[in-house]
Amino acid sequence: MKKSNLIVSGIVVTLVVSYFIYLGVQEAKVEENVFLNRTNVEIESLASEEDDVKALRYKSRVFSVKDLPLDIQKRIKNQQLTSHIQLITTLKDFMVRFHVKAKDARDPFSVDATDIPPLISIIDKRVGDEKVESIYQKNLHKFYKGHDPQTMKAEIKAQLLAQDAYDYIVNQLGEIFLTTDSALPAGPLIPEEWLFNGDYTPSYGNPKAAHHLIWIGFYGCLECQNFTNDLGLLVQKYGIDNLRVTFIPWTKDDLNAFTYINLTGMCLYQKVGKREFWNFHTIAMNHSPKVAKIKLNDVKAAKDFSNEILRSMELNEKKRQLALNCSKEFHGENPVLIEMTKTKKKIAFIPNIYSPMAIFNGRIMDLEGRSLFNAVDAKMKDIIK
């Protein structure tokens, strides 16, 4: 499913800023792997993930997965993650169709799982011929002369069915997770050291916290504001002793407008301080709807936006200039940008990276039909009794 793993939620900027500042003061250096051995999940991954499983034998020498070169390990993990996405897509299709038939039944065991309607029959009823005809007529002037109306209408309906199927599945999953005690297989475990690049993956909270939420993304994503708000609520509810948060700056392209804003934040982190970075981060994320309107090649607009945030932070001139002097070197030889590119390459084994993406305790979160807060809260409540 192309639009897998999307998000939703909300809270006030000042609350989030105050918590991020508080967390920045409490922040300590990461010294140990907080992901390993945390494999307690309700349903395990359908893709094998053990790193000590035997992979191959050459004469008398046996190689476990963990004995293989890192690039091979990452390729294997990529294939596991890709397989998991395909498996989850299949299971969601079944879960939604089963839910349609079983939601009104008192006992789910009374529902025949082998006799449930195909998704296409459900969606087909939702996309009527009248809607297809309306779209056809509105766009008639755009079609080439001599086209076959029936063929064109069939293409329109196919596109409507595909979009409606996705929207329908997301809405149904939201209903399922909200009203029923349901679960899907967890994703394969990802080793923490594969994701981090030292101080270029800013982290706050107790380094020994039992739980760790990693956020991959940039400041122009449509759901960034919701992510930030949800993080504020999660920190408020569980505190930094239970939940640590890390941000991994990422953009699809090495150099674009969003990369520049990421660079400004990272320059603050490196040249000024961690507290100032998290302040910048929160303000930028809470203005993500505005940032999302910036075109990829409009670096000037990104610079203006970054400067606007720096001014709103009431930094003294020395600190502001440190950040600006660092970020204005927007080219491949900037040391901070070089490290950001290294970070991006480290996580390239993850398939279908998008922004924002969340990884909780080493497993990519499936947020389809759920907000970040609800998804993490459900897992935390299951663990913290």
pLDDT for residue 382 is more than 80: no
Contacting residues for 344 by C-beta, under 8 A, at least 6 apart: 250, 251, 254
| Together in a domain, 170 and 204 | no
What confidence tier does 109 reach under pLDDT thresholds 50, 70, 90? Answer: very high
The structure tokens listed for 148 are: 């076959």
DSSP structure class, residue 128: -
| Together in a domain, 228 and 331 | yes
| Together in a domain, 164 and 253 | no
Distance (Å, rounded) from C-alpha 239 to C-alpha 384? Answer: 12
Distance (Å, rounded) from C-alpha 349 to C-alpha 75? Answer: 7
| Together in a domain, 194 and 163 | no
Give residue-wise pLDDT tens across range 339-381: 999 999 999 999 999 999 999 999 999 999 999 999 999 888 7
Nearest alpha-carbon partner for 363 in 224, 231, 214: 214
Distance (Å, rounded) from C-alpha 40 to C-alpha 42? Answer: 7
pLDDT for residue 228 is more than 70: yes
Give residue-wise pLDDT tens across range 250-299: 998 889 999 999 999 999 999 999 999 999 999 999 999 889 999 999 99
- Predicted confidence at residue 3, as pLDDT, reads 45
Other CB atoms within 10 Å distance of the CB of residue 324: 17
**Which of 146, 179, 212 marks a domain boundary?**
179
| Together in a domain, 298 and 342 | yes
In a domain, 50, yes or no: no
Q: Do β-strands 203-204 and 243-249 pair in parallel, antiparallel, or remain unpaired? A: antiparallel
| Together in a domain, 135 and 196 | no
| Together in a domain, 117 and 23 | no
Structural domain count of the chain: 2
Other CB atoms within 10 Å distance of the CB of residue 297: 12
In a domain, 330, yes or no: yes
- Contact criterion met (CB below 8 Å) for 373 and 224: no
Distance (Å, rounded) from C-alpha 10 to C-alpha 5? Answer: 18
**Which of 122, 150, 179 marks a domain boundary?**
179
CATH number for the domain including 18? 3.40.30.10
Model confidence, pTM:
0.80
Task: Assign residue 9 a region (left: φ > 0; alpha: ψ between -120 and 50; beta: otherwise).
Answer: left
The Cβ-side half-sphere exposure at 238, using a 13 Å CA radius, reads 29
**Which of 179, 207, 229 marks a domain boundary?**
179
Q: Which domain holds residue 345?
A: 13-35+190-383
Going through the chain in order, the beta strands assigned E by DSSP cover 54-58, 61-64, 203-204, 211-217, 243-249, 357-360, 363-364
The structure tokens listed for 155 are: 């293409």
Contacting residues for 316 by C-beta, under 8 A, at least 6 apart: none
